[in-house]
Structure 1
Amino acid sequence: MKTILFEGPSHTYLPEIPAYMRYLETAHPDFKAYNSLDLDDYHPKEFDVIWRFMGLDASGEGRYVVHEYNSLSAGRWPVVKNSVKMMLNKRPDQRVFLNKIVRKGFPFRDDVPYQYRDMGIAAQFFEAPLKPEYDFVYAGSVHRGPEVIAILDYFAQSARDATVLIIGDASEEARERFKDAKNITFTGRIPYEKVASYVARGRYGLNLVPDQYPYNVQTATKVLEYCALGMPIVSMKYRWIEGFANRRNGKFFWLEPDFSNLTLNALENYEFSTPNVEDRRWRELIDKSGVFECLTSL
């Protein structure tokens, strides 16, 4: 039996890794898949395929190496960071990009074959029944940007009649800041397999992404998951979300920059339309992408 190792960063949960591993169990049963986070010690050349989520890969070790770029560099000087990665990363045997925009951010000038594989949705989000206990739910880190803290300030000061559930990392500083806001509840980080049941406790799904590169051009996984649950979506307006809504005939509630239009009355009178995302189930999405076609020739 041949082997494939998925290497991802230790500080970030990548739902695509367990999705890939489940897919390979049935689509390529001749391959045994491993997650690097589950191994204490290993050498890349012990495996037939090394699938790296980038990052840097200055060594390029492995018999057959795949580089997957599922996001663009963020923070200060993102374009410069992209260029540095391109210069330092060894040439792989194959590349995978989230979408055409990410590939444009890494304009390699070589003949390495590549595929696109956008974000998929785990089955749990299609199966969990909605049981709203809170008016709003936000799934993600509180520290992704100032927008999250800003909207929590709005809930704490100007929209105290609305309740909000925050699922994900929250620092002690954030918890202390909102400790007196009885309408804000923090869950902290929870196991991924339980996320859907927690998200389903909200009536409206919040998507708080700034209209700033690279965040404004990347797929918002939480939006896909809200859609799979059938939730109405309340979002900041930016390039990716507008394109997604237009292509899918979705109708989302667009937030004003100061959140002044965010009231329960406004939402109750708004005509939402949540897109169908059945085609984003992981198995169908991976099948269509063709990212594992290379395995047939190894």
Structure 2
Amino acid sequence: MAFCAPTLPVSPLCRTLASISPGGFFCSYARFLGLPVWRSPFSALVSRADWRVKSKRWSRGRMLFSLSDELNSSNGSPVDGHVKMRKIVEHILLLRAKEGLTDVEEKDMLDHLYTTQYQMSGIIAISLGRMEYPNPDNFTHAVYMRFQRKEDVAKFYSNSFYARILKEHVTPYCYESISVYYESEVEDDIIPIFRRGEDYNYGVECMFLISVSKTASAYAVEDALASLQNIILDFDSNIVQATQGRNLNITDSEYTHAAVIRFPSIEALKIFTESPGYKDIWKLKFHPITTKVLLVHFVVDPVGTELM
């Protein structure tokens, strides 16, 4: 049987919620601090010295950059450099809603999960929503959260407020869930860290969950993940932000690794998943070392609005 890369049917309509804050405030604050303001990671990077990223590549757990000062130099000679990164922790919660869940019940569940960011410390970004299309694991809803550090995730789970939200507003509507969280890095700038501004107001939140075989070598796993990162970098103009890492919550999930990719649109998601390079890495790199792969996504729309 031929191996196919994980893909999803896509639709312009998904009812979702997302974290929205006034992007102008973050841009103004960043400029006040003298920080570079990036509209999109990597693809539009401009430093105070007016250096641009000429090329980039993921290799053995490190992001390698070649910078060019062509804006200020007539010869445009490349200069080796790097972008300062900040560690963060990505958290994914997948839910299986009970059959017959009403719109009112769904809104109650998602609203209360969404407002945890205002009641609990440590959450620096959040989005959540419903997947319209079925998936092999029959998950119906996803919640994405970003924390500053691993300790914040532990505090989150032990918080009585979160336990009450689950008991009163999630468990009555869902019969099962799994959670995954992993440590990754993003550019050390207020906009990519907090995922605020116009690039994050809309788009598609895409989540990859991967179960690596116990017999897979460490080198093969690293090579596959680096290949995924490189294809992401090749499509950086169609990607707002991407992270990946090893699941630190193995006891609650069979998945060993995960990735979160924010696309600016459904069209960008399709361009990425239908590309030959994407299909090749899943066939050549991931298929030999994985026992299971799950790809889910939901469309992000500002809170308080509805896609028509």
Q: What band does the TM-score fall into relative to the shorter chain?
A: under 0.3
Greater fraction of residues in helix: 1
Q: What's the TM-score once normalised by structure 2's chain length?
A: 0.27
The structure, 1 or 2, with the larger RCO (C-alpha pairs under 8 Å, 6+ apart) is: 2
Q: What's the TM-score once normalised by structure 1's chain length?
A: 0.28
Greater fraction of residues in strand: 2
